[in-house]
Amino acid sequence: MDLWFLGTAAGRPTKERNVTSIALKLPDPRCEIWMFDAGEGTQHQLLHSPLKLSKLTMLFVTHLHGDHTFGLPGLLSSRSYFETKEPLKLFGPPGIKQLVTTALEISGSRLEYELIITEISEGIVYEDEQYKVEAALLDHRIECFGYRVTEQDRPGKLDGEKLKRLGVPSGPLYGQLKNGRDVELPDGTLIRSSDVVGAPVKGRVVTILGDTRPCDNAVKLAAGADLLVHEATFAEGQEEKAYDYGHSTTLQAAQAAKEAGARQLVMTHFSSRFRGEDMPALEDEAKTVFPASAAAFDMMHIHIPCVH
């Protein structure tokens, strides 16, 4: 899994930062792009990354504030210029369908693929054999969600040398053993999956929160996460201002990561009052509470490795 921060500013873009968007690239063999929010200019940011819009299959919106949604019409329209006809699934809070369909209709935009829009509530919003995405309400000025992406555990590695010694022919039997099924050879020998397959590979968990004050659901969504992305619009000492605007400070983001037992915290959605030279101090604030903290910047790339 790989994560790209396409925009890390709060409210409005600056010369250093675009407004909010995050892209998650799934590992082989899927290699799909899942996007979280699409502020104005997101498709321009994609052009400066190694990511391809044609690979975008899922888009999750946290809330309907413009700095998280004004890039949607252009992004969706541009996807039609690629050869892919694969449907795009769009998830978001109530109102997302009206926002998108109205913009496309009155602009005369025509999509060359199926756009499937789901207005979500709390709970599991998507699940397949490999991934599950859960959503929960946060504490912001309007209805806002956080998302927890869970990769399902994968079977361990087959011990090829042992299989050869046991006389197991390569082919379908290998697949059955890898999937946890015992097999019987023609001579009656029973081969147990547990004897030839290594320990399962634990699935990764990535939590991406929308705008929020400190709240219980932020911690629940991030429980045991390999990576927590948490807004930190304000700095230490600005707690009252953060509360008034429905946001968090660096220390509050770090406290959420600590309480959740996350492995790593990346802060984003910084107020325009902060410049690049301010980032080390903001990181240091968070590290006093949660040492594995970092401040995101536009085009920041993070690889999330498997943990055995």
| Domain 2-154+201-303 = CATH 3.60.15.10 | yes
CB-side neighbour CA atoms (13 Å) of 279: 18
Within a 10 A sphere around the Cβ of 57, how many other Cβ atoms?
16
In this prediction, residue 213 carries a pLDDT of 98
Report the largest interatomic distance among the alpha carbons of the chain, rounded to a whole angstrom: 75
DSSP-derived pairing of the beta strands 2-7 and 21-25 = antiparallel
Within a 10 A sphere around the Cβ of 104, how many other Cβ atoms?
17
Contact by Cβ (8 Å): 22, 35: yes
How do the pLDDT tens digits run along the chain, 308 residues long?
A: 999 999 999 999 999 999 999 999 999 888 999 999 999 999 999 999 999 999 999 999 999 999 999 999 999 999 999 887 899 999 999 999 999 999 999 999 999 999 999 999 999 999 999 999 999 999 999 999 999 999 998 777 888 888 888 888 888 888 788 778 898 888 888 988 888 887 778 899 999 999 999 999 999 999 999 999 999 999 999 999 999 999 999 999 999 999 999 999 999 999 999 999 999 999 999 999 999 999 999 999 999 998 75
Interior CA angle at 112 toward 41 and 104, to 5°?
50
Which residues make beta-bridge pairs with 60? 36, 91
In this prediction, residue 149 carries a pLDDT of 98
**Strand blocks (E) in 111-199:** 115-119, 123-127, 131-137, 145-151, 183-184, 190-191
The Cα–Cα gap between 292 and 295 comes to 11
In this prediction, residue 308 carries a pLDDT of 55
Q: Which residues are documented as binding site?
A: 63, 65, 67-68, 140, 211, 269
User: What are the sequence ranges of the domains in the chain?
Assistant: 2-154+201-303, 160-196
Q: Which residues are documented as binding site for Zn(2+)?
A: 63, 65, 67-68, 140, 211, 269
Residues known to be catalytic: 67
pTM above 0.85, yes or no: yes
Tokens 């498709």 -> residue: 43
In this prediction, residue 160 carries a pLDDT of 83
**Strand blocks (E) in 172-256:** 183-184, 190-191, 205-208, 227-231
What's the sign of the alpha-carbon dihedral 54, 57, 58, 64?
positive
Contact residues for 102 (Cβ-Cβ < 8 A; gap 6+): none
The Cα–Cα gap between 56 and 41 comes to 16
**Run of H or E residues at 172:** helix 172-178
